[in-house]
Structures are given as structure tokens and as C-alpha cells.
Structure 1
Amino acid sequence: MENVSSHMHHVFILYGIQELGRNKPLYFFLTFILYVAIITLNLSLIATIVVEKSLHEPMYICLCNLCATSLYGTVGFYPKFLIDLLSNNKAVISYAMCVTQTYIIYTSAMCEIAILTVMAYDRYVAICKPLKYHSILTPRRLLNLLLLAWIYPLSMAVISLLLTLRLPICESRIDKLFCDNPSILKQGCNSNSAHVNRLWSIIMIVGQVAQAVLIFASCTQIVHICVGSSEGRTKFIQTCLPHVLAICISTLAVLFDLLYSWDGAASLPLHVRNALGLQFLILPPFCNPLIYGMQLPNIRRTFIRSLRCSGRRVGCKRTH
């Protein structure tokens, strides 16, 4: 507890923002537009699913949770980043805010992978075992799976956070636009004291890889079933292709972040490392609602009808 108490007065400097220099106003404008777009797209998709009763099915309920993880994760980064871009001073962040930001950003990414795993299971049952779909994926089982998809990452990250809090901090330089666990560990007074943290990080990575394997296995089975008929291929394109694209985007973004955290990446220019590190805060939150909104016919029809109704304001009746 002595370490935690002494940490509260420690301040980190985010040197990644210093690289932006005189271009801060431009980056503020672009980031603000992007953040508003992310909020609008995800909230619109959530509202469409909540309001339209015909969309109260497992796949769309999972999609609501996926959008919620995006909104949750971006809250941990964009407001602070926008404030730093407006400031002419060095970008500083307190220890308490740094660990909070780390927790929010990385639990959102872990929750996203977990929810994508649940969605992969939903698509597997729907296409490979259609006659047993409603008996297998009952509302109670879906609720339990979604609770697990949130509780597992949040609790695993709590342990990681507690392990980080016990370490003494001596340095203040973070070469990123935001805080993350590897960056905090590098500020420790003794790198040898962080071996438990690294071991726990490996355990967490293994958990994420295991979920990726489950997703890949379900996609393989789905493709095997669907390629045999034109009806199956149509179903795959309409309901599974968005999920496959979302998985690819999330995986690519996580790989970029891992490359950023890799020690060998230190030789890359800072602006390149900044671009790599931001991908999982840009691509999934922005692309997922667009992909699902445009590709899933039920959501697309409902959203277009809602826009027409809001334009006319009268005489609109929902069709089920």
C-alpha cells in the first residue's frame, strides 16, 4: 500500500503527443470528427436494435454489446487526447489516471474479442445446427455467455492492475499517445520486479489466443457448410461475412498494437509507432457499426425506414 500511496503524486509525460508539434489543431479537428462519428455510428446501431423488436435476437443483442465495448474503450482515450491537443504545454497524466486509462482501453479490447467469440458461436449454431438453434442458444444461455464475455476480461485485468500497483515507479517518460501496461512497467525502478507481471500478461495473451482459435474453428465449420449450396453462400455473405470482417479488423488492430509494444519497434519513427498504436482505437469502433449496418439486411432496412419516418414524422408504421 505504501507504493500505491506514493504513486498518487507521480506524473507521467506522454512524449508521443510532442511529435505532433504545430499540427495539433489539425489533429484535434480530425480526431474530434472521428470521435463524433464513432459515437454516432455505435449509438445509432444500438438504438436501432433496442427500438426494433424484430431485432431482439441473439446475433443483434451481441452486436449491441460489441458497440458498447467500442464506446467504453474510446471514452478511455479520446477525451484525454483531445484535451492534450488543445494544450500548448506538455501532455501530462497522473499515475491514477494512467492506470485507469490502461484498464479501460485494454479491457475494452479484451471484451471485444470475447463478444466476437460469442457471436462466432451464435453463427456456428445458427448455420451448422439450425434445427437446434433455439434450444441451444436460449435467452438464459445467451445472458450467461455475455456476462462471461464481460466479467472474464474485467476480472483478469483487475489482477494485472493490482500487480502493477505494487511496483515502485522511478521514471516519467511514456513514448506513446496514451498509457498502457508495458509503458508503465518500463517506468519501474527495477525491471526484475516485474517478472510476475510479464508472466500474467502471457497468461492473458494465451486466453485471447484460445478465443481466436475458437473463432477460427467456428468460421471454418461455417464455410465448410455454406460453400455447398447457393442458399448457404447467400446466408454466409449476409450474416457471417460482417463477422469475419470484424474479426479480421480487430485481429489486425491488435497485431499493430503488439508491434508497437515490441522492443524492436523503438527503431521506427515516433509518428509511425503512434499510427500503429492507435489502430485498435480507430478501426474496430469506426468500422464495425458500418460493416454490420450496411451488410446485415434486417438492420439496413430498419435503419432506412427509421430515417424515412423521422423525415416524414407522421404516418410511419413499423412493419414486423
Structure 2
Amino acid sequence: MGCLLPATAQPATPSVNPRSVEARSSAKVIKVATRVVPPFVIEENKRLTGFSIDLWRSIANEMGVQTTFVVQPDVNQLLQTVQSRQADLGIAAVSITSDRYKSLDFSQPILESGLQILVRDESASHFSPLSIMAVFFSPALWQVLGVMVLLILIPAHIIWWLERRNPQGMLSNTAYFPGIFQACWWSAATLATQADEMPKSAASRVIAVIWMFTSVVFVAYFTATVTTSLTIQQLRGTINGPEDLPNKRVATTAGSTSAVYLAEHNAEVLEFPRIDEAYTALLQKKADAVVFDSPVLLYYAAQAGRGKVHTVGPVFRRESYGIVFPPNSPHEKAVNEALLTLRENGTYQDLYDKWFTSKSPQD
């Protein structure tokens, strides 16, 4: 009776998601959901780089596992992919929030950050009549003008009091009115270095000399104040901090913590699937500002957006980023242990310096 030998099994070709940019055959492969958000995740020529990608590869190396990356269009899709267990975990610029903790688990924080504001760089534009007029309504300039009025009135009264007793004095009428008006005119003209008449008495001339030197100092101070106000008016825009966001058109990504913040603070929120679409809306003047994670905005402003945009105001709504897991994930403990190891052996610090300290993180 003949025996049948089993046919040699042919290795099956693994099915790869068309948006997966890295997949390797392994007995133990972890599927990782991510999204493109420089400098955390950068996609170039179908290959992923960035802080989050480098960090995960170091974690995977510590765990002895291989990885399949699946790129999702936005943070909502990323979280849904993990929650439905279509991916074992997710990593990108994912903020740890109490609302997300209700249905997902997170690793220990991998980065501390917060939100910041990005605006167009319009500092190279010329002064407009409106910007110049705005200077004359600034509190600083009105304070200077108030001081100027006092400086005119004080020497004017002294000169009037001294000159009214001199029959050959410069006052044509020694009465308080209209004598004080003539004294004020002389004081103001001296301030502008345009006085055409000088007091006659010796005491009045001493006061006049002191007032002349005082006028030189005041004119220099007044010029500096106006110049500073014009410069600040030119550099400042209508949005300079979080308090200026209400009722402004502000772009961000859909489902992000920044979108929640903007909605809570009465901004006109423009949500886009990807952050680069928000940048485009800003540059095309469809949005007044972009609010998003500070490291992401700083990276764009220093790289592709240099000379076009800049950040304004402080970092606000502090938050932490973490690796997201489905509930009761078998990988969470191992990932946290690997993170601790990377912090202790200096690998984490090296990656942080590479992407957030160096001038050219991709070099």
C-alpha cells in the first residue's frame, strides 16, 4: 500500500494594507496605527520617519518584535482603528485625555507639550495709514502727550509769574488771561525748538535755559516712543495670544484636542483631515490662525513655513502625548518597560535631541 507524502507548504504572500509603508514577515508582528504629522511622523517615498517612528522602532527592538505601520488620515481614524483592535496600538502626536481614557489605554507619557498659535508672517508689509493712525490711539502715546501738556504748563506758569513783574518783559498783557496763553505758546514753541522770543528777566532766562535742555530730552523720548509704537504695531497682528481667538477663523485638525479647545472658546473652527491642509488655509487667508500642538507648529515654522508664518503667544493647555492601546492590551506592560529602558540608557534623549534640538533633524 502506497503512502502519500504531504506536499511542501508554500509560504503565503502576506496581505499588506495599501497604506502600510513598512511590513516584514515575522512570527510576532505588531500592527501600529499612525498618522502623518511632522516632526512626529513624516512620510517620504513610502517610508516613515519622525520622532514617534524612531521611538517606536527603538521600543520594538527592545521588545524583539517586528512592525507593520498603517497610516490613518487623522487622529479620529487612528483612535478608532486601535479601539476596534484593527491595530495593536497607535503612536503619533496623540494627547492623553480623560475622555479618551474612557475607551482606550495609554502608555506612560512620551512627550510633554501643549497648544500654540501659528499666524501669517506679515512683518515685511509696508506701513498703512490705518496702522499709523492706530498708534495715535495707543495708551502709551496718550500718556506721553499728557506728560507733554504738564511740561508745557509748568514752565509757562513760572515764566508768566516772573515776566508779569517786568515792564519790559515779553508779555504783551500781564493779566492771567491772555498772558498765560502767550506764556504757554512760548513754552510749546521752545519745546519744538521754534521759540521766536526770549524772556527778559534774569530769573526767567535761567528757567528758559533749563526748559530748553529739558525739551531736548523730552523730544528724544517722544521720538523713541512713537518709533517703538509704530514698530510694535507693524509686528503685532490681530491675534497675539489665546485671548484673541474668540470669533476668529482658526484652522486645526478634525477630532484633535485643539478643535475641542477652540469650540469651547467660541472660535470659528475650521477642521481639516491633515495639518498641512490647515497650513494651506492660513497661507491662502482662508483662516486667521492655526492652533495645534506646539512642537508641530514650531517644526513647520522653522522648515517649510520659514518666512511665511510664525508662532505667537505662549504654549497653553498643557498636555502629554502617549502610545494608545485598546483596553487590556497584552502589549502595554512590555511597551512601558521598554520606554523605561530607553530613558535609562539615553536612547530616548538622543531621539529627542535629534528631532527637537538639532537645527536639521532629518540630516
Pairwise same-fold verdict (TM > 0.5): no
Larger radius of gyration: 2
**Larger helix proportion, structure 1 or 2?**
1
**Larger strand proportion, structure 1 or 2?**
2
TM range (shorter): under 0.3
TM-score when normalising by structure 2: 0.17
